[in-house]
């Protein structure tokens, strides 16, 4: 028989298996084997026959194909794409070819990518990947929320492996549905359906169970069985969340079946890696999904038969099995089919089954209602480390986050701005821009690892933009990059580069750290120089050229070691320098043997100060015996010695932070003498040689109590110009031996006693000599010269000589020309001003911190004295000065003028008010500049609900009621607001205590209600919030007194025609007349009629937010 004629004698329409390809009519299906399942792509291996032995199969590859099989209702189709086509065998007349048809998911296996996805969930990831495949028809059936990931990486993974891994981690499965489009050209149309464990499956066909496969054109199930398996019954999943320092954990447990034996808990504990979960809910959902996946094999159905309507992912019903109906969902199906090519072809090919053909399948299924979750897929591991470049905003040097993270870009990242030499072609339809923006938009935000890190302690190294950093991956996870360090290379060289190729003059002895400022200039530097015999440690920065160097001091420029500068330590700056210690400072040039002893050991200073104390005390006693002043500062000198002497108070008296504060004793670290310390925060300078203080300009020294200078030898004061000393009390100069001299080599010598007598006393002679001119003795009243009983008195116009003995006048001549006189002009003496050693100044402010200017005050001091005046514009009093520290007890305040702005006025003047002052007094700290503020705070509350509702009847929603406060107390100063006056300069309403109400919307039973008053003040709040300068306008409106409040409504006038106070009264009267319909609560003395009120306020009520309603 002619095989070709036998083959072509029947068209495909007579076959129960047919195929549609890009080569129509070229093939007849002989047989096929296929497999399809949940979470996998289907694959059909189809053997086809052709009479053409050398067909070009190229047109098939990548094109759509449709495989059809006859059913009782027509046909069932599988659509896909040809991925393989090959010659199988031939007998010379008929050639067998093998065609492989798969879903579009097979195409995903053909692309391997390196890509980061930023701020996406699993669906977004699938859409981004599937979007590059035009054939990718998909649908999502999701009930549970999906977690959004800040970073998800695909690294050297195929799209297929990456997508399936993402779906598995999210607990999502997929199935494939085929379009039943027989009769059309092959389209390959099939849809991948992504679903979660809560999704509802579509209903499939009902299939009969029979032992024999006969009589049903759609086929039957001939085998059906169950397999039971022991599975884990508990899953615990944990993960560390670094940004919150929190361990997140999820727990899921399956209850045991009825009548199940008692078994131990079969727990799967998964603590794999950090960063897996964002919330507790994420961890819980993961644990539940993982348990569902592990429990899937617990009950499995295995079946086989010839049912041609069996589909994966649908709920089918098995009838006639053990007298009941069973519903199940196939997870996988394997198909075997042979075409009905007729007896002739079967005989010719030696295969009898080709006569009528056959179809068989076997399947794996789970009972309906079983949660279908894919098994967890392990992610690929990134081995080793990689390098990346830090990126940030254009022109910036640093781009980091609060949690010590930087943005990086890897060399393999493609996009609009890859690293130099990188690729801009992303080969992506769905994401043509790629993931390499080259700036702060990079989604790869990476933590920076440090050698130590903890709550507010540890290292801080922030890689700069453009730096090349070394990236590691936690647990080898591409989603968890970490900066491990930074590397030099290319244009980036070490700051202390040495060795081959460098300009350094050393082999590499410098170690340390060099920073840069944000504009690329030199910043701070830490250098450790390990040159043999020349060890050096230096901290410096370029600001004011400040540095601290220790050890062998040299000049250093860059990496070059320069000239020798000395040894020891150097602290230098071109800016300001401060040495500050709260417990005391010791500056000493006394060396200790082997550099031992304790920190504050001042034994030499104590010995020297003891001698100084003895010297000063001896001199003080000698001066007192000679009627000179004692050295009153000796007691302070002795107290200072006591504070630093370890034999007295200058030592620790107990343990310090748990360690004994005693010196070493023998081989023990403690047990000896107490460790020295200053008992007071003193500054002590000590040297075994000289101490010199010098400056080319001025030097100043100040002591609030005493200045004590003691010298065992001489003390010299020399000045090229003037030496001036001033004393607030007395000056005593005493010389125990050697005399006292006051000499002016040029100019006069003046000794004056302004308010008392002057005495010149000598044990022997007093000699007054004028070598060049004369000696004048002048007196306003009289001059008396007396020796013993003898006296000469010059008084008025008389000279009286008194003597008990002879009065002898010896002269060569005795002329008496007659009487004469001459008036003497005596220089006036200055009246000394009192010296203020203690003073203070007070500044009065209100509760808002505003100064109380132009207030008359009277301050009462503790000594009974008073100080009066008027505060300046800043609320300050005059300085209060006293001879000693004196507390200021109270102040009586009286305003010199009162302008009650923006409120209801009163003709009653404000009284004076007494303000108690505590904790303030004159002192000797910052004399002439110290200042203390006295503030009185009042009480305040928000608006009540009733007040808000009352205000809304007029102002509606034009006021932010939450910003309004009602104060009990004066606005201007404490209780100095006029009686029965309210002040509302902004969002704050000030009522005196007697006028204040806890709720102005409540009617008063014991007096008139204050509805109108409240509405008047709310008008000023509305004016303020609409932008009207209430306080400023009050100075020109409210100051006019009652006339500013009175209004008269003329025809045609509107709300904006009235001033700020008139508007307040109009609103108050409108509320009383129109809203309350009450003349009793009218605010003004002469309100308008109801019609006039409606007329004037109508534009305002149409839109209270309109600022054109404000006073013109």
Contact assessment for residue 461 and residue 526, using Cβ atoms and an 8 Å cutoff: no
Contact assessment for residue 1079 and residue 1012, using Cβ atoms and an 8 Å cutoff: no
The answer for residues whose C-beta is within 8 angstroms of residue 217's C-beta and 6 or more apart is 70, 71, 72
* CB-based contacts of 789-794 (< 8 A; 24+ apart in sequence): none
The per-residue pLDDT for 904 is 45
- Render pLDDT for 747-796 as a digit per residue (tens, 0 to 9): 788 887 776 777 887 777 888 887 777 888 888 788 888 887 888 888 87
Q: How far apart are CA 869 and CA 896, in angstroms?
A: 11
Return the CATH number of the domain spanning residue range 3-209+216-220+306-367: 2.30.110.50
Structure tokens given for 560 = 């070059």
State the angle between helix axes of 603-625 and 634-644 in degrees (0 to 180), rounded to the nearest 10: 160
Q: Which helix (H) or strand (E) holds 578?
A: none
Contact assessment for residue 7 and residue 51, using Cβ atoms and an 8 Å cutoff: yes
How far is the CA of 740 from the CAs of 737, 938, 977, in angstroms? Answer: 9, 67, 69
The per-residue pLDDT for 938 is 64
The answer for residues whose C-beta is within 8 angstroms of residue 642's C-beta and 6 or more apart is 648, 649, 650, 679
* CB-based contacts of 321-324 (< 8 A; 24+ apart in sequence): 321/209, 321/221, 321/224
Q: Which helix (H) or strand (E) holds 865?
A: none
Q: Bigger pLDDT: 775 or 112?
A: 112
Q: What percent of the chain has pLDDT over 90?
A: 38
- Buried-exposed string 943-953: b where 16+ CB fall within 10 A, e elsewhere: bbeebbebbee
666 — pLDDT class (breaks 50, 70, 90): confident
Tokens 């050698």, located at residue: 451
The per-residue pLDDT for 743 is 83
The per-residue pLDDT for 315 is 97
Does CATH place domain 381-494 in 2.60.40.10?
Answer: no
Contact assessment for residue 440 and residue 399, using Cβ atoms and an 8 Å cutoff: yes
Tokens 């890859």, located at residue: 418
Q: How far apart are CA 321 and CA 915, in angstroms?
A: 101
Q: Is 80 exceeded by the pLDDT of residue 1020?
A: yes
Q: Which helix (H) or strand (E) holds 601?
A: none
Q: How far apart are CA 882 and CA 834, in angstroms?
A: 9
- Render pLDDT for 547-560 as a digit per residue (tens, 0 to 9): 898 989 888 887 78
- Render pLDDT for 446-495 as a digit per residue (tens, 0 to 9): 999 988 888 888 888 889 888 899 999 998 999 999 999 999 877 777 88
How far is the CA of 77 from the CAs of 9, 15, 183, 450, in angstroms? Answer: 25, 14, 10, 61
Q: Which of 147-151, 392-396, 1010-1014 has the highest mean pLDDT?
A: 147-151
Structure tokens given for 743 = 């000499």
35 — pLDDT class (breaks 50, 70, 90): very high
The per-residue pLDDT for 834 is 52
Q: Bigger pLDDT: 813 or 657?
A: 657
369 — pLDDT class (breaks 50, 70, 90): very high
E-strand ranges in 272-396 read: 299-305, 315-321, 324-338, 358-367, 386-391
Structure tokens given for 404 = 């010590």
Contact assessment for residue 146 and residue 121, using Cβ atoms and an 8 Å cutoff: yes
Using H for helix, E for strand and C for coil, what is the string for 124-174? HHHHHHHCCCCCCEEEEECCCCCCCEEEEEEEEEEHHHHHHHHHHHCCCEE
975 — pLDDT class (breaks 50, 70, 90): very low
Say which range, 76-85, 275-284, 337-346, 573-582, has the weakest mean pLDDT: 337-346
- Render pLDDT for 306-346 as a digit per residue (tens, 0 to 9): 999 999 999 999 999 998 999 999 999 999 999 988 655 55
**Mean pLDDT across the chain:** 85
Q: How far apart are CA 1008 and CA 1004, in angstroms?
A: 6
Q: How far apart are CA 1031 and CA 1020, in angstroms?
A: 10
Q: Is 50 exceeded by the pLDDT of residue 15?
A: yes
Q: Is 708 exposed, middle or buried (0-12, 13-18, 19+ CB in 10 A)?
A: middle
Q: Which helix (H) or strand (E) holds 636?
A: helix 634-644
- Over residues 193-222, the mean pLDDT reads 91
Structure tokens given for 79 = 């659509």
What is the 8-class DSSP label of residue 629?
Answer: P
Structure tokens given for 636 = 């302070």
- Render pLDDT for 1033-1085 as a digit per residue (tens, 0 to 9): 877 776 667 778 888 888 889 999 999 988 988 998 898 888 888 776 676 66
Q: Bigger pLDDT: 865 or 607?
A: 865
Phi, psi angles (nearest 5°) of residue 792: -120, 125
Bridge-based pairing state of the strands 932-935 and 842-845: parallel
60 — pLDDT class (breaks 50, 70, 90): very high
Q: In 514-593, which residue ranges form alpha helices assigned H by DSSP?
A: none
- Render pLDDT for 606-640 as a digit per residue (tens, 0 to 9): 888 888 888 778 777 777 777 788 887 888 888 88
Q: How far apart are CA 852 and CA 855, in angstroms?
A: 7
Tokens 């045609």, located at residue: 1052
Largest CA distance in the chain: 194
Q: How far apart are CA 1039 and CA 1045, in angstroms?
A: 11
The per-residue pLDDT for 1 is 41
Structure tokens given for 451 = 């050698």
Q: Bigger pLDDT: 749 or 570?
A: 570
Structure tokens given for 281 = 């809910």
Using H for helix, E for strand and C for coil, what is the string for 759-819? CCCCCCCCCCCCCCCCCCCCCCCEEEEEECCEEEEEECCEEEEECCCCCCCCCCCCCCCCC
Q: Is 80 exceeded by the pLDDT of residue 1009?
A: no
Q: Is 60 exceeded by the pLDDT of residue 2?
A: no
Q: Bigger pLDDT: 228 or 617?
A: 228
Using H for helix, E for strand and C for coil, what is the string for 492-526? ECCCCCCCCCCCCCCCCCEEEEEEECCCCCEEEEE
861 — pLDDT class (breaks 50, 70, 90): very high
Tokens 């110290």, located at residue: 930
Q: Is 70 exceeded by the pLDDT of residue 984?
A: yes
Q: What percent of the chain has pLDDT over 70?
A: 90
Phi, psi angles (nearest 5°) of residue 797: -100, 10
Contact assessment for residue 349 and residue 95, using Cβ atoms and an 8 Å cutoff: no
Contact assessment for residue 563 and residue 554, using Cβ atoms and an 8 Å cutoff: yes
Instruction: Say how many CA atoms lie within 13 Å of 340 toward its Cβ.
Output: 13
SS3 content of the chain, % helix, strand, coil (to 5): 15, 30, 50
The per-residue pLDDT for 977 is 56
Structure tokens given for 702 = 């100040």
Residues pairing with 267 in the sheet: 234
The per-residue pLDDT for 296 is 94
1006 — pLDDT class (breaks 50, 70, 90): low
Q: How far apart are CA 630 and CA 619, in angstroms?
A: 8
Q: Which helix (H) or strand (E) holds 192?
A: strand 190-195
The per-residue pLDDT for 832 is 54
- Over residues 86-90, the mean pLDDT reads 91
Contact assessment for residue 561 and residue 588, using Cβ atoms and an 8 Å cutoff: no
Q: Bigger pLDDT: 540 or 222?
A: 222
The answer for residues whose C-beta is within 8 angstroms of residue 935's C-beta and 6 or more apart is 845, 846, 847, 849
The per-residue pLDDT for 333 is 98
The per-residue pLDDT for 312 is 97
């Amino acid at each position: 028989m002619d095989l070709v004629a036998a083959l072509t004698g029947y068209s495909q329409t007579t076959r129960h298996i047919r195929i549609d390809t890009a080569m129509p009519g070229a093939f007849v299906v002989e047989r096929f084997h296929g497999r399809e399942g949940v979470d996998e792509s289907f694959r059909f291996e189809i053997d086809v026959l052709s009479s053409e032995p050398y067909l070009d199969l190229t047109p098939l590859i990548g094109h759509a194909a449709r495989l059809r099989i006859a059913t009782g209702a027509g046909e069932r189709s599988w659509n896909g794409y040809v991925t393989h086509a090959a010659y199988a065998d031939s007998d010379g007349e008929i050639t067998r070819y093998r065609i492989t048809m798969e879903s579009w998911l097979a195409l995903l296996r053909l692309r391997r990518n390196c890509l980061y996805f930023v701020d996406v969930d699993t669906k977004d990831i699938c859409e981004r990947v599937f979007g590059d495949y035009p054939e990718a028809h998909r649908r999502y059936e999701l009930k549970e929320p999906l977690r959004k990931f800040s970073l998800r990486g695909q690294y050297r993974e195929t799209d297929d492996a990456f997508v399936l891994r993402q779906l598995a981690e999210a607990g999502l499965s997929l199935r494939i549905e085929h379009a039943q489009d027989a009769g059309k050209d092959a389209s390959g149309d099939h849809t991948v359906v992504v679903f979660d464990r809560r999704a509802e499956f579509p209903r499939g066909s009902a299939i009969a169970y029979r032992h024999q496969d006969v009589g049903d054109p759609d086929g039957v199930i001939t085998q059906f069985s169950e397999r039971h398996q022991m599975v884990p019954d508990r899953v615990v999943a944990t993960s560390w969340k670094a940004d919150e320092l929190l361990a997140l954990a999820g727990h899921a447990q399956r209850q045991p079946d009825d009548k199940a034996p008692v078994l131990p808990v079969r727990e799967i504990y998964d603590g794999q890696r950090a960063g897996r979960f964002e919330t507790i809910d994420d961890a819980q959902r993961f644990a539940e999904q993982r348990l569902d996946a592990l429990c899937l094999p617990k009950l499995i159905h295995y079946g086989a038969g010839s049912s041609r309507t069996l589909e994966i992912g649908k709920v089918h019903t098995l009838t006639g099995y053990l007298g009941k109906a069973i519903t199940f969902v196939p997870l996988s199906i394997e198909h075997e089919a042979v075409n009905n090519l007729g007896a002739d072809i079967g005989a010719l090919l030696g295969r009898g089954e080709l006569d009528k053909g056959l179809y068989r399948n076997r399947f794996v299924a789970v009972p309906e209602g079983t949660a279908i979750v894919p098994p967890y897929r392990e992610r690929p591991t990134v081995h080793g480390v990689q390098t990346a470049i830090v990126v940030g905003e254009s022109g910036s040097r640093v781009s980091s986050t609060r949690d010590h993270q930087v943005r990086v870009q890897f060399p393999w990242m493609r996009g609009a701005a890859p690293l130099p030499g990188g690729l801009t072609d992303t080969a992506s339809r769905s994401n043509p821009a790629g993931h390499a923006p080259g700036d702060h938009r990079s989604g790869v935000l990476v933590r920076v690892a440090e050698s130590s890190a903890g709550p507010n302690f540890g290292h801080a190294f922030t890689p700069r933009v453009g730096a090349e950093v070394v990236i590691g991956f936690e647990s080898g996870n591409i989603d968890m990059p970490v900066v491990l360090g930074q590397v030099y290379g290319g244009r980036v060289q070490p700051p202390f580069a040495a060795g081959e190729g460098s300009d350094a003059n050393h082999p590499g002895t410098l170690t340390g750290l060099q920073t840069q400022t944000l504009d690329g200039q030199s910043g701070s530097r830490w250098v450790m120089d390990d040159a043999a015999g020349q060890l050096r440690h230096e901290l410096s920065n370029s600001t004011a050229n400040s540095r601290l160097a220790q050890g062998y001091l040299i000049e250093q420029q860059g990496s070059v070691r320069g000239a020798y500068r000395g040894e020891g330590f150097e602290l230098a700056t071109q800016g300001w320098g401060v040495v500050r210690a709260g417990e005391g400072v010791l500056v000493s040039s006394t060396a200790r043997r082997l550099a031992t002893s304790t920190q504050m050991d001042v034994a030499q200073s104590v010995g020297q100060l003891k001698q100084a104390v003895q010297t000063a005390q001896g001199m003080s006693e000698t001066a007192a015996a000679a009627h000179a002043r004692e050295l009153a500062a000796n007691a302070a000198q002795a107290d200072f010695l006591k504070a630093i002497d370890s034999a007295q108070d200058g030592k620790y008296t107990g343990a310090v932070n748990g360690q004994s504060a005693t010196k070493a004793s023998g081989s023990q670290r403690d047990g000896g003498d107490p460790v020295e310390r200053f008992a007071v925060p003193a500054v002590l300078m000590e040297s075994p040689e000289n101490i010199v203080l010098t400056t080319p300009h001025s030097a100043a020294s100040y002591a609030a109590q005493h200045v004590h200078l003691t010298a065992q030898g001489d003390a010299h004061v020399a000045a090229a110009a003037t030496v001036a000393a001033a004393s607030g009390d007395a000056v005593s100069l005493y010389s125990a031996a050697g005399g006292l001299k006051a000499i002016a080599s040029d100019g006069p010598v003046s000794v004056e006693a302004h308010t008392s007598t002057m005495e010149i006393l000598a044990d022997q002679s007093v000699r007054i000599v004028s070598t060049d001119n004369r000696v004048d003795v002048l007196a306003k009243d009289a001059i008396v010269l007396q020796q013993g009983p003898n006296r000469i008195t010059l008084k008025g116009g008389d000279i009286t000589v008194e003597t008990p003995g002879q009065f002898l006048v010896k002269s060569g001549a005795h002329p008496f020309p007659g009487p004469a006189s001459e008036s003497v002009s005596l220089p006036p003496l200055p009246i000394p001003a009192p010296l203020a050693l203690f003073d203070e100044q007070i500044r009065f402010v209100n509760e808002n911190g505003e100064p109380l200017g132009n207030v008359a005050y009277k301050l009462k001091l503790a000594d009974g004295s008073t100080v009066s005046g008027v505060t300046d514009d800043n609320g300050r009093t005059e300085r209060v000065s006293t001879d000693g520290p004196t507390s200021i007890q109270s102040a009586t305040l009286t305003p010199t003028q009162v302008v009650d702005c923006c409120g209801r006025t009163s003709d009653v003047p404000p009284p004076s008010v007494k303000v108690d002052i505590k904790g303030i007094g004159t002192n000797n700290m910052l004399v002439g500049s110290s200042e203390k503020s006295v503030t009185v705070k009042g009480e305040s509350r928000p608006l009540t609900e009733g007040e808000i509702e009352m205000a809304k009847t007029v102002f509606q929603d034009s006021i932010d009621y939450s910003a309004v406060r009602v104060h009990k107390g004066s606005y201007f100063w404490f209780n100095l607001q006029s009686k029965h006056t309210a002040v509302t300069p902004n969002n704050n309403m000030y009522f005196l205590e007697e006028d204040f109400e806890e709720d102005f919307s409540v009617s008063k039973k014991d007096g008139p209600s204050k509805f109108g008053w409240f509405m008047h003040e709310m008008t000023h709040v509305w004016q303020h919030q609409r932008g009207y300068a209430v306080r400023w306008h009050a100075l020109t409106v409210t100051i006019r007194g009652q006339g500013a409040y009175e209004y008269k409504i003329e025809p045609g006038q509107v709300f904006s025609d009235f001033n700020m106070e008139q508007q307040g009264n109009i609103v108050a009267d409108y509320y009383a007349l129109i809203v309350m319909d009450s003349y009793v609560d009218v605010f003004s003395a002469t309100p308008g009629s109801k019609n006039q009120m409606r007329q004037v306020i109508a534009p305002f009520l149409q839109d209270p937010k309109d600022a054109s309603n404000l006073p013109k």
